[in-house]
Chain A
Amino acid sequence: QKEVEQDPGPLSVPEGAIVSLNCTYSNSAFQYFMWYRQYSRKGPELLMYTYSSGNKEDGRFTAQVDKSSKYISLFIRDSQPSDSATYLCAMKNSGAGSYQLTFGKGTKLSVIP
């Protein structure tokens, strides 16, 4: 079992839809949770960064972390064609002295106008 599992998709939705992206993980030491967006031929761009369990909202994006279920989600409201990209979840433990992220393989999203 991989440490982080993410459905690769592809996921295709109409413009304006609510998108739900998810990751599950097995390492209970993970404390920091991130979502990155990666456009073709670009590096990953940080979207959301959360610590431990709970929700965080930023504009049209909401990140949720449920540590008891080892499950994280990213919701995109009012999706736009410009949201078409690959979305990567990433996690790290709280250990000081090292910054090693473990990534999911990414979900490819297409928002159709």
Chain B
Amino acid sequence: KAGVTQTPRYLIKTRGQQVTLSCSPISGHRSVSWYQQTPGQGLQFLFEYFSETQRNKGNFPGRFSGRQFSNSRSEMNVSTLELGDSALYLCASSFEPGQGMTNSPLHFGNGTRLTVT
């Protein structure tokens, strides 16, 4: 079974630009979460989607947004990039049997390394 796939692996952008990152979850997984990883703050929760609906959002500014499609694939967007947005962005998926039962583990992709210059 293929794992979580994130594209692209690396991105270099300039301050003020916007960027879109893509994530394909493990087949059959309906829950997708996004995390930001930096050396200073570690892994921080961005948001989570289930059945095309944002279920939870972390403490990030509105410049960070996301969406999920009917096939469970997800994208996140960062507008008006700042130098501090340079990070590894990780997508994770989990299998939920239904009724929002969130007791199955998260599986991560290898991330997109975003560098803002």
Contacts and interface: CB of A to CB of B under 8 A. Distances in A.
Q: Is the pairing of A and B real? A: yes
Contacts of A46: 105-108
A43 B43 contact: no
A103 B43 contact: yes
Contact of A98 (B44, B48, B99): B48
Nearest to B40: A105
Contact of A104 (B33, B42, B105): B42
A96 B100 contact: yes
B66 interface: no
Contacts of A94: 103
Contacts, number: 72
A100 B58 contact: yes
Among B48, B56, B100, B103: residue with most chain A CB under 10 A: B103
Interface in A37-91: 41-46, 49, 51, 88, 90
A45 B110 CA distance: 9
Nearest to B10: A41
A101 interface: yes
A44 B105 CA distance: 12
A49 B106 CA distance: 10
Query: Across chains A and B, which 10 residue pairs bring their CB atoms closest together, nearest first?
Result: A43-B108, A105-B42, A97-B100, A103-B43, A43-B110, A99-B102, A96-B100, A98-B56, A49-B105, A44-B108
